[in-house]
Amino acid sequence: MIISVIGGSTAKAEHVELAEEVGRLLARRNVMVACGGKTGVMEAVCRGAKAAGGLTIGILPGRTSRESNNYVDIPIVTTIGYARNVIVVNTGDAVIAVGGAFGTLSEIAHALGDGIPVVGLSTWKLSIKGDGDPIVDGVIEADTPEDAVDKAIEAALARLRSEGESAEAAAGAQYDR
């Protein structure tokens, strides 16, 4: 299982601590960690995962693996800039958001739009005016790293079960090379 952790490249000490603990707990549960591969929350979650012997994937925006933080095991050099945010969330079976600014908000939105569960730790609160948007399907709030990891793994398992056949079908013909 892969869980993507998203958050700002410049993060408050509070969020860095939360992200590092999330990484540690995911690694202890034998879950691989994917992230944007850079600084702040991304570096913290990788550092935590490595401290617990986990495997980390950094999905980078630029054109060289040298831009990844020092705790990324597998740098994916996308070259497509912030459009890589879509890849960060789709690579996770579920997503955990820690704090974050606009880049993180774009990832939360892409995930929710694609039916990928998002668990939040002191991150964006969403509300819409006028539109009957099912915000009941929005971010699942968590109070602690333990709570976030439990809810993310549970949501990922539920998603994997429910999407089985449909996803299988969708995947099939679409791209054959």
- Positions in 111-170 near a copy of itself (CB under 8 A): 112-114, 122-133, 163, 167-168, 170
> How far is 18 from 167, CA to CA, in rounded Å?
33
Residue 144: CB minimum distance to a copy of itself, A: 14
Tokens representing 62 are: 């630029």
Give yes or no for residue 8 binding a copy of itself (CB under 8 A): yes
CA atoms lying within 13 Å on the CB side of residue 156: 22
For CA atoms 18, 23, 24, 26, give the dihedral sign. positive
> How far is 61 from 41, CA to CA, in rounded Å?
16
Residue 64: CB minimum distance to a copy of itself, A: 4
Answer for which of 17, 28, 29, 90 binds a copy of itself (CB under 8 A) is 90
Kindly tell me which of 48 and 99 has the beta carbon lying closer to a copy of itself.
99
Tokens representing 11 are: 């993060």
Residue 33: CB minimum distance to a copy of itself, A: 11
> How far is 177 from 56, CA to CA, in rounded Å?
27
Kindly tell me which of 37 and 48 has the beta carbon lying closer to a copy of itself.
37
Residue 143: CB minimum distance to a copy of itself, A: 12
Site for a copy of itself in 45-84 (CB under 8 A): 55, 57, 59, 61-67, 74-83
Query: Could you tell me which residues come within 8 angstroms of residue 163 by beta carbon, excluding any fewer than 6 positions away?
Result: 115
> How far is 173 from 177, CA to CA, in rounded Å?
10
Residue 155: CB minimum distance to a copy of itself, A: 16
Kindly tell me which of 149 and 156 has the beta carbon lying closer to a copy of itself.
156
Helix (H/G/I), strand (E/B), else coil: 100 = coil
Helix (H) or strand (E) holding 174: helix 145-174
Kindly tell me which of 114 and 146 has the beta carbon lying closer to a copy of itself.
114
Stretch that binds a copy of itself, among 19-27, 43-51, 103-111, 150-158 (CB under 8 A): 103-111
